[in-house]
Chains A and B, each alone.
Chain A
Amino acid sequence: MAEPARAGDVAVEMAGIAKSFGDVHALDDVTFRVAPGEVHGLLGENGAGKTTLMNVLTGLYLADRGDVALHGQHVDLRTPSDAVGHGVGMVHQHFELVQAFSALENILLGAVTATWSMDTASHRERIADLADHYGFTVDLDTRVADMEVGDQQKVEILRILYAGADILVLDEPTTHLTPAEVDHLFASVRELAAEGLAVVLIAHKLHEVFAVCDRVTVLRHGRLAGSLDVAAAAHADVVAMMMGDDATMVEARAKTCDIGEDEVLSLRGVTATGGAVDVHLHDLDLQVHRGEFVGIAGVAGNGQRELMELLAGLRPITTGRMHASGVDVTHARVDERIRAGVAVLPGDRMREGVLPASPLYETYALGRHLLHDHFSPHDLQDQARDMIARFDVRTSGPTAPTASLSGGNIQKVLVARALDVSEHAGGGAMVVMNPTSGLDVGAAAFVHDQLVRTCEAGGGVLLISEDLDELLALCDRVVVLSHGRLAGQQVAGDYDRLVLGDLMVAAHG
């Protein structure tokens, strides 16, 4: 499918690219080159302009200035279909499959020009071959809505490959994957590169970049900070490039407070078996005390989502009791729990957290709008302005559409929102799910720091995360969730990854 790589050939050559949104200079004089057969890492802080640069390459945004050449030919990319026509395909940070269609239908949608009839069988065969070849095995007849994120991503990539792309852009593809899935993806990516495709990989985790990339380009505040050969670079070089000299690395502080007696959150014998869900929750006994940082570890799909929904008040408790700071909230609605100080930061921030088309201050207000007797849009804007300054959110202001913020900046807003809910209750319970996925090193440390502060201010944190490193670095206690049950726990000081790992994968019974 891809043309064989010729020596000295350049697959992508972007020169002097500039793009502004209002007063925000998202890109300024950026140069970016990728050779065929190369896996090229694109790095930078949240809001550095990575996605914007790739959106220019895929014809979604029109650059204000600059040239794009593909395989040495100058091209004019005005629409996404121009880019597809030139063999450029992108898997976005937030997927865009048709949920009600099967994998096969989604792939054909991207690749096949509409005609009255379609020879599905022969397409199916070729797609299956392609999938086998690169190790993207998925059931082509499953509806996308019923697929795990990892499989949805495979479908996205297959769709692009089948449409004939020889330049593949992956925007933060590892965010929602388990470590095993990441390894798998990287193996496939290397395979694609070996056949001459140019692959651009946007990533935040350096070890991932070093594992799979040949070269990296670093953006900082919309400008090119530099390009490096990975083989000749050290982690520290890249970090220095990303942060520049203006920033010193924020380290998550160790917690300085003691664990109190009072429970800010407690589940006793809680079972939730209602509804058509994959995982039912059974016999949960879990207490978070004042000043305590508790982690929930587990392989994705073992009830994390269900637990988060249950704590938020969106999933009914069948038996058992739940208390928030001593108040029985077993059957309380979401709004009542918010007033009781249960602050939930959902795992899927775009779907469960934001009002994409609404101004930023309204996204920030959601949930918080219940806390004060007086409701005034004017006050909400002022509060958002204040939050933007305190949390250093990169945006044009409180009235900017929420969807115009970069992923990392959106997360800052949602964290700030949850913090406010918990603070309002004088130290409530923060329930956070995968809070740092997709965040740059600095922003992740910032979020961790805020969680630690919540504990120190007398609240308690329940961190549901698939990232064991994160859990072990922060938590006083890590509890393993497996098949909807709490399978065991370890306390800080006695952490043993092997034991935890065993608990996580142990068969239920």
Chain B
Amino acid sequence: MPNTYDALIIGGGHNGLVHAAYLARAGKKVVVLEKRHLVGGAAVTEEIYPGFKFTEFSYVVSLLRPEIIRDLQLPKHGLTILPLPSTFTPLPNGDYLATWDDHDKTRREIARHSLKDAEAYDEYSRQMARMAMAVKPILGMIPPDPTALSPKDLFGLAKLGGHAASLSEKDFYNLAKLMTMSAADLLDEWFETEALKGTKSASGIIGTFLGPRSPGTAYVLLHHYMGEIDGVFRAWGFAKGGTGGISNAIANAARALGAEIRLNAPVAQIIVKNGRAVGVALESGEEIYAKYVSSSLDPKRTFLKLTDPKHLPADFVEAIRRYKIRGSSGKVNLALSGLPNFTALPGEGALHRGAISISPSVDYLERAYDDAKYGRFSRRPYIDCIIPSMIDPDMAPPGQHVMSCFVQYAPFAHEGGWDDAKREAFGDAVVDTLAEYAPNLKSLILYRQVLVPPDIERITGLTEGNIFAGELALHQLFFLRPVPGYTNYRTPIANLWQCGSGTHPGGGIMGASGRLAALELLKDWK
């Protein structure tokens, strides 16, 4: 057989690349097939407008597992993470709420709004860090199947039980609550300042199709708390060169370890011969064979598009069909001739080097959700902005800037379907909303890129444009992700593996799925 490999990885996103790097590191002959002209999947940086580099989709980094950074020596391969020190929330009443990298400054700032909240803030932060610590071991665990009685699964369950028992009762209960309650309820227990609750609960809705008052969102909030940079919890950062910089670093590491990466090589089908995956057929018709095939694509794409259903059990296909992967967010990337000037805190300042969040209250987010749940984009959306060029000057020409705006909600299934008019109306809603706080913004815009879920799906391949390759809903986590019985990265087809965010532990630029899948595959290697 021509060009055969030990392992073939479908998709050159960060998980596919991490997976490939770990396999190559174990001495396997590996090839990564990426459909686009560049690696990264949803973690790419592209010069969409001359001189301006857009972090097109994902835009911050925090969840990337430190062990991956170590194992693959990513800094050596060009990974530099710059701190993203502050969060600035402008308010409709002309005031603002900010958290800075200076703890005392943050305390004073919150105290300006509520002494009680300033008091509670430290304890809240400590508890969330503790909870993140408590979940961390689970992120590194291969989910056992609680229904199976195999020694392996029983051991896994015992390990899980042991971990639970190792927690203090208080931590266990707090964790149980965090896993089940709503972000809004969680924050109501701690704070009274609407802007603080709004801004904090926002990270509980990212990538979900739920409002902050729906149970389950507290876990998503915690998921975003698991961010860790150089061992510092809840440190969010920006990768030099944008999130594409991360992908390139991982790709360089993989190449250095001997992995081959083929661009412009879209896979059309997974070739299955008598029950086992033996390779893939590219859209070009070329066939590539390998001992093992790993897909880093989302489960729906892998099993419903690239695999002939006749090779899969009917109830498995049904389960994959039921898998929830609704896209709910959009992205607006701006090329600016200057800096937006926020009336709440005029002039250039620290706020421009951090996150700017349009989340004045929990009700504001709920209203944004109300639009989406009835099939329309939010007229007044939640927006999370950063200005990469303020952190990494190479992102835009001198004196000019790029602004990345993550926007929720934008339902994939928009009433009457998405079209150019709706896309532009969505872009206008975002810019108009921002302009209420930074009136000069409109006059600064040189170029505007608007991405709605169908665009994200078309470009990155993420089904419905869901940024987590499957919602982080309670019934789609751990031993339920992506579907019961197939949470250990295996699939019903022999030698076909999954290594994307659709598997435990799920979304965000974490790389954990790719790594765990590789380690599991290597254990299994025959």
Say whether A associates with B.
Answer: no
Q: List residues of chain B with CB under 8 Å of any chain A CB.
A: none
Q: List residues of chain A with CB under 8 Å of any chain B CB.
A: none
